[in-house]
Amino acid sequence: MFFEHFFEKGLAQKSYLVGCQKTGEAIVIDPRRDVAQYLRVARENGLKITKVAETHIHADFLSGSRELSAATGAEILLSDEGGAEWQYRFAHTGLRDGDSIHVGNLRLDVIHTPGHTPEHISFVLYDLPAGPQPMMVFTGDFVFVGDVGRPDLLEEAAGVKDTKVRGARDLWRSLARFRELPEYVTVWPAHGAGSACGKALGAVPSSTVGYELATNWAFAIEDEEEFVKELLDGQPEPPYYFAEMKVRNRAGAPVLSDSAMPPEIDAEELARMIAAPEAEDSAQVLDTRSRYAFAGGHIPGSFSVPMDLSLSNWAGWTLAYDRPIVLIAAEEDLEEAVWALRRVGLDEIVGYLESLDPWTESGRDVARTEQISAPEAWRRRAEYTILDVRSQAEFDEGHIDGALNVHAGRLSRNADEIPIDRPILVHCQTGYRSIIAASTLERLGFDSVVNVIGGYEALAREFETMQV
């Protein structure tokens, strides 16, 4: 048997290629959209991808199942469980509880494991020549290392009312199916630490059934009501784009007709693209330079999301899905930036500038974001409305007295909560999210926004100094 584990750090997303080396057949489970990696590994190991499967309709990334099928002719196998509302809307072979998938001498048995979503399934793998015992279970977003899948995304992100408590109860019952597996079976989930699909995901890539039964908090609770309460409490804020991913993944992600990089454009072309900001075809500018470069000078109205592993997530929070995108990105970062956007369905990237130089050299206006040090911010804090753009959980752990908490990703829909009688002092934990927030506020028309260098960590040091 051949096995390969793929991990995309930005989304903390995992996918798997499993093959029968005797027959040369292989299956990919929960593929992401940039499928070249699966094709390369299969080719290098003498395998042909004949099947592709998903554990559920994903919310945090755009699935690569149709992309991979188009490239290989592989059969797409998807859940037909969960009821009419949770059926995939594109051609596939349906799977139900008790079905089996055969890949050469390998067999994957299907278990319906609802809770995270109604249609969710898991795959139990048998290497038949090795014996009748199961080897692995691919749990998707059902059981993680150290955690279980959150059941509230349909309600909190997709707006499907009255589903989170029902999902939690479904998950409680699904855990009984997991307990039936032999303790030696290895557990391979669809996400790891850093994903918003749970609240306490472990950083190690895999586990075993026995280890999870012994250490995972969900299996230590013996009362259903207590489990439901604990499961729903303290989940991280789901990005707005999760709802978009649900719709697109159920309908079937479009196959990319051209995976080439966008063209480099000049300042005049960009000026034309953004000349009428309210127009439906007006481009939005995503600036991936560092927070310091952005603060020092940027195209008015542009969004700042510094090039980082979190680019997919924050671009999904920030950008509109119905408008074209122009990137400000260094040549060496361009391909990764483009794929970070494509992984969350932001496909209409119409051009890029390698730097701001063409814009400034053409004599066009440049906007700047004021930044101040933590000591200065602390001394002058009474002059500002202090806006803490961290998560609710971070805010609850400690914050500046009098600060207003609005998550950075939620500013576009909650800006009316922010008073405008004083300048706004924006901070996050270390400074990455606050420049994203500052650019959002500036785009929304707030004209007196100040970013704290070093964020809450630096401010807290000032607070501690004042207490000595």
Q: What average pLDDT does range 90-94 have in this prediction?
A: 98
Q: Which of 158-162, 244-248, 250-254, 283-287 has the lowest mean pLDDT?
A: 158-162
Select from 3.40.250.10, 3.10.20.30, 3.40.50.300, 1.10.599.10 the CATH code of 267-361: 3.40.250.10
What confidence tier does 465 reach under pLDDT thresholds 50, 70, 90? low
**DSSP secondary structure string for all residues of 444-457:** TT---EEEETTHHH
Hey, what are 405's tokens? 């908490």
| pLDDT exceeds cutoff 90 at 196 | no
Q: Which of 22-26, 102-106, 418-422, 434-438 has the lowest mean pLDDT?
A: 418-422
Identify residue 293 by its one-letter amino acid code: A
Within 8 A by CB and 6+ apart from 416, the residues are: none
Q: What average pLDDT does range 303-330 have in this prediction?
A: 96
Q: What average pLDDT does range 374-390 have in this prediction?
A: 96
Distance CA 154, CA 246 (A): 9
In the chain, CATH 3.60.15.10 sits at 2-251
**DSSP secondary structure string for all residues of 329-378:** --GGGHHHHHHHHHTTT---EEEEESSSHHHHHTT---B--EEE-HHHHH
Identify residue 164 by its one-letter amino acid code: K
pLDDT of residue 221: 97
| pLDDT exceeds cutoff 90 at 195 | no
3-class secondary structure for 419-432? CCCCCEEEECCCCH
**How far are the Cα atoms of 50, 130, 235 from residue 139, in angstroms, in the given order?**
21, 22, 20
Hey, what are 250's tokens? 């159920």
Burial class (CB in 10 A: 0-12, 13-18, 19+), 186: middle
Q: What average pLDDT does range 211-229 have in this prediction?
A: 97
Query: What is the average pLDDT value for the chain, to the nearest integer?
Result: 94
pLDDT of residue 70: 97
Q: What average pLDDT does range 310-337 have in this prediction?
A: 96
Q: What average pLDDT does range 169-183 have in this prediction?
A: 98
Distance CA 265, CA 74 (A): 38
- Residue 172 or residue 162, greater confidence: 172
CATH number of the 370-467 domain: 3.40.250.10
- The residue among 122, 134, 439 whose CA lies nearest residue 301 is 439
- Residue 54 or residue 197, greater confidence: 54
Distance CA 113, CA 387 (A): 41
The topology under which CATH files domain 2-251 is: Metallo-beta-lactamase; Chain A (3.60.15)
- Residue 432 or residue 275, greater confidence: 432
**How far are the Cα atoms of 44, 147, 307 from residue 10, in angstroms, in the given order?**
26, 19, 11
Q: What percent of the chain stands above pLDDT 90?
A: 89
Distance CA 185, CA 149 (A): 19
Predicted TM-score (pTM) of this structure: 0.94
Distance CA 139, CA 209 (A): 11
User: Tens digits of per-residue pLDDT, 422-445?
Assistant: 999 999 999 999 999 999 999 999
User: Tens digits of per-residue pLDDT, 341-363?
Assistant: 999 999 999 999 999 999 999 99
- The answer to whether 110 and 80 have CB atoms below 8 angstroms apart is no
Q: Which of 17-21, 125-129, 257-261, 368-372 has the lowest mean pLDDT?
A: 257-261
| pLDDT exceeds cutoff 60 at 468 | no
User: Tens digits of per-residue pLDDT, 221-242?
Assistant: 999 999 999 999 988 888 999 9
| pLDDT exceeds cutoff 50 at 455 | yes
Q: What average pLDDT does range 7-20 have in this prediction?
A: 96
pLDDT of residue 134: 98
User: Tens digits of per-residue pLDDT, 130-164?
Assistant: 999 999 999 999 999 999 999 998 787 667 777 89
User: Tens digits of per-residue pLDDT, 52-78?
Assistant: 999 999 999 999 999 999 999 999 999
Instruction: Count CB neighbours of 268 within 10 A.
Output: 12
Distance CA 69, CA 180 (A): 33
In the chain, CATH 3.40.250.10 sits at 267-361, 370-467
| pLDDT exceeds cutoff 70 at 466 | no
Hey, what are 20's tokens? 């029968």
Q: What average pLDDT does range 300-307 have in this prediction?
A: 96
pLDDT of residue 161: 77
pLDDT of residue 158: 67
Radius of gyration of the chain (CA): 24
Within 8 A by CB and 6+ apart from 25, the residues are: 19, 47, 48, 50, 51, 103, 104
pLDDT of residue 467: 47
| pLDDT exceeds cutoff 90 at 275 | no
